[in-house]
Structures are given as structure tokens and as C-alpha cells.
Amino acid sequence: MIATGLDKLLRSTESMTKRSIGLIVNQTSVTSDLRYSWSALKERGVSVKRIFTPEHGLFATEQDQVAVGYQPDLACELVSLYGNLAETLIPDPAVLDHLDLVIFDIQDVGSRYYTYINTLALFMEAVSGRDIEIMVLDRPNPLGGEIVEGPLLDDAYGSFVGIFPVPVRHGMTAGELALLYREAKKLDVNLTVLPMEGWHRSMLFPETGLFWVPPSPNMPTFETAEVYPGMCLFEGLNVSEGRGSTTPFKLFGAPFIHPFELAEHCRSSGLEGVLFRPLWFKPTFHKYCGEVIGGIWQQVTDHSRYRSFATGVAMIAAIHELYPGQIKFLRGVYEFNDTIPAFDLLAGNSHIRTAIESGGDVPTILSSWHHDEVEFLGRKQQYHLYHS
């Protein structure tokens, strides 16, 4: 079993007993034997002044894009960094007063859209120039650290689901991303990363020996995280991404989809490391709540060959080809942005959507971000804290 940054920190806490400490944490901030960080620190004489919570809240009680309301009664102040307005994503300067150390310890899932690392980035910007140390207690990237996938973020499409200048599947840990962001933004931040012990870039989460604690309400398993880089794109469509089922993101569907027809189309696309199973399901909330809808179950068969983002784009192109008058790219408010389609915010550009809408050749679309992947694979190595 690997040792996380939290496990390492708890070995010696004497220097922290006199510091004024804040935590950016949720229910994934646990030791290897599943004790919460704030409790474990208290047991060692470390006083936590304030806890900052990300989207979904301290115990992931809220669904996506829902302002965090309920906060449990702990022996310190709790401050939500996810409310009804974009301004709530950034800590009020007043809640930073009298803190000299803020510790970030949340399990990421390896996708640019996942908002916890974006909370870290915005917090780093907020403390830039202040006498506050940011300490990242590193945890594994569940998808490993070798494969990257998808286009780099176009700056014009920056949002709370796209802050880091990285591909969709970035192959970096939270600590490595923090180092990258500090340099990319030229932030005046006293940043410390406490690395893991025993983690290698080739490791997927099941190889770490750690327990999977669902990071958010619709991320119940590692298998969910593996398909998420491609399946999250469905949030930008009038197609259910499986929310309201017991297996979100592993399946998708809509009333206008004919499962066997679509599954056969996807099977003929040449995608590797994945099988497609036709099905029907009934979401209990979110899109098409209470309706029986047709769709596809995505089964990964080879982790090394499977490319989630490419698979997601190819499946969306297939839906558009089969049901062009019925599939829609959604517009409206998405993660505090009401000017850019949600799909484009997730993809990091508008090129993929326009290519699909114009009936572009799928292999050409899938190869359009290859240069970005090659360029980033070389560039990210300067921030690596771990070897393969």
C-alpha cells in the first residue's frame, strides 16, 4: 500500500501545533485506515481553525451545480467554496485572516473538468502575495500518470470546469498540478507539496491498496472515474449521462436512442479497449426522470488501450449521425457561465462540437488533438514528482 501525503504528515506534527491552520477537504481526506484528517490532526494536538469545503460539501451531500447548504457541526468554522454565485468560488479575504497555513487534501479523479483541483487553483490565486503557506497533501491520480488525452484548454473557454492549461485527461497529481499552476500564472505563493510514498506513474487506483472513497455523489467507483473524461461531455447534451441511475457515467441514454442500432454503430467505429452493451434504464432524477430511455453501457476491457475522451466524442458523433434532428447541444447556465455551450466549456474549445454538427469525419476529429497530447506529454515532465 502506498502512503498518501496525509499519512506522511501525521507521522510528525510537532511543528504544526502552534500554527493557525485551515483545511480544504471533503470526505476523501482520510488516512489509510479511513480516519478523517481533521480528527486525526486533533488527536495529535493540531488545532484546525477553519475548514473550507468544495462543490458537493464536506460529505458530498449535494448534487452537481447545487449550492452547498448543509454543513455538519464540527468543532471549527466551516466555509463553503461553492454557492449560488461565481463569487463564492473564491474565499472572502476576511476568512483568510489569521491563517498562516492552508492544507489541501482531496482525492482528484484525473480529469480537467473535476472541480476540486479548480478550487485549489482559485484558492492559490486568492492567497498570492499573502503570508499564507499552501500545503498540498498528495494523493494518486486514479487514472495513472502516463496517459494524457484530449485537447489543451483554449483560454477563451476557461471556466470552473476548465482552469488548468492541460488536456482533459492530464496524467498529473494534485500536487503536480499545483506546481504547474503556480508557474503558469506566476503566482507569489508559498507552496509545499508533500509527496506520496510508493506511487508510480503506471499505477491505476486499484493497484494502490487504498480504499476508494467516492469523491462526489456520482463518482461511486474507480470504474466511473475511468470513463468520466469522455462521459462528462454528455452533460452538455440532451442525453442522460446516467445521473439518477446506480451507475452514472457508465451508461447514457435518451428517449430517441435505439440501443441496438447505436451499439452496432459504435462497435463498427474501431474504438479499442471497450465494448458497448445496448440497454434501457429509468433515471430517478436529473434528465428524463421517471422515463424509460434507451442507451448504451460502456464496458472497459483493456485499460492501456482504452481512451475515454476519444470514445465519448465518437459516441456523440454516432448519436448525431443517427439522430441528427433530435440530439441537441445544450445552452443556458452551466457552472456559472451562460454565454458558452456547456459542451464547449468541457471540451475546452468549440472545434469538436462544430465538427460533429457538420458531419465531420470521426477519425479526423479524433486526431485533431494529437499534437496537444504530444506537446503536453513532454512539458509536464518538469513537474513530475514520481517515476514510472
CA distance linking residue 297 with residue 228, whole number of Å:
13
- Measure Cα distances from 153 to 168, 209, 263, 366 in Å: 8, 33, 30, 16
Question: 202-228: string of b/e by CB count within 10 Å (b at 16+)?
Answer: ebbbeebebebeebbbbbbbebbbbbb
Mean pLDDT rounded to a whole number for the chain: 96
**Together in a domain, 178 and 242:** no
Cell of 256: 430517441
- Of the residues 197, 217, 237, the one at which a domain ends: 217
Task: Say which amino acid occupies 334.
Answer: Y
- DSSP annotation string for 248-281: BTTEEEETT--HHHHHHHHHTT---SEEEEEEEE
**Together in a domain, 176 and 205:** yes
Band (pLDDT 50/70/90 cuts) for residue 300 is: very high
Is 305 inside any structural domain? Answer: yes
Q: What is the pLDDT of residues 128-174, one digit of tens each?
A: 999 999 999 999 999 999 999 999 999 999 999 999 999 999 999 99
Instruction: Characterize the bridge pairing of strands 77-80 and 190-194.
Output: unpaired
- What's the CATH code of the domain at 160? 3.40.50.12170
Question: 9-34: string of b/e by CB count within 10 Å (b at 16+)?
Answer: bbeeeeebeeeebbbbbbbbbbbbee
- DSSP annotation string for 358-376: TT--HHHHHHTTHHHHHHH
1 pLDDT higher than 80: yes
**Together in a domain, 153 and 255:** no
Q: What is the pLDDT of residues 312-347, one digit of tens each?
A: 999 999 999 999 999 999 999 888 889 999 999 999
The number of beta carbons lying within 10 Å of the beta carbon of residue 186 is 8
**Together in a domain, 53 and 153:** yes
Is 263 inside any structural domain? Answer: yes
Q: CB-based contacts of 364: which residues, under 8 Å, 6+ apart?
A: 355
Is 368 inside any structural domain? Answer: no
**Together in a domain, 13 and 37:** yes
**Together in a domain, 163 and 251:** no
CA distance linking residue 97 with residue 130, whole number of Å:
10
CA distance linking residue 55 with residue 119, whole number of Å:
8
Q: What is the pLDDT of residues 63-104, one digit of tens each?
A: 887 778 767 778 788 999 998 888 999 999 999 999 999 999
pLDDT higher at 85 or 177: 177
Is 376 inside any structural domain? Answer: no
Question: 100-127: string of b/e by CB count within 10 Å (b at 16+)?
Answer: ebbbbbbbbbbbbbbbbbbbbbbbbbbb
Task: Give percent of the chain with pLDDT exceeding 90.
Answer: 90
Cell of 257: 436512442
**Together in a domain, 162 and 212:** yes
**Together in a domain, 111 and 246:** no
Is 383 inside any structural domain? Answer: no
Grid coordinates 480544504 are at which residue?
24
Residue 177: exposure state from Cβ atoms within 10 A (0-12, 13-18, ≥19): buried
3-class DSSP state of 43: helix
Q: What is the pLDDT of residues 207-246, one digit of tens each?
A: 999 999 999 999 999 999 999 999 999 999 999 999 999 9
Contact 32, 210 (CB under 8 A): yes
**Together in a domain, 83 and 168:** yes
- Measure Cα distances from 101 to 23, 48, 96, 169, 387 in Å: 8, 10, 10, 30, 29
**Together in a domain, 155 and 28:** yes
CA distance linking residue 374 with residue 126, whole number of Å:
32
**Together in a domain, 138 and 262:** no
The total of structural domains in the chain comes to 2
* Nearest residue to 9 via CA among 213, 192, 282: 192
DSSP β-bridge partners for residue 300: 274
- DSSP annotation string for 204-259: -GGGS-PPP--SSTT--SHHHHHHHHHHGGGGGBTSB-SBTBSSBTTEEEETT--H
- CA 17 centroid distance within chain: 32
Q: What is the pLDDT of residues 349-374, one digit of tens each?
A: 999 999 999 999 999 999 999 999 99
* Nearest residue to 141 via CA among 196, 204, 192: 204
CA distance linking residue 146 with residue 270, whole number of Å:
23
CA distance linking residue 119 with residue 58, whole number of Å:
14
- Measure Cα distances from 264 to 15, 284, 315 in Å: 61, 27, 11
Is 278 inside any structural domain? Answer: yes
Host domain of residue 341: 222-357
**Together in a domain, 259 and 206:** no
Is 372 inside any structural domain? Answer: no
Is 364 inside any structural domain? Answer: no
- What's the CATH code of the domain at 321? 3.90.1150.140
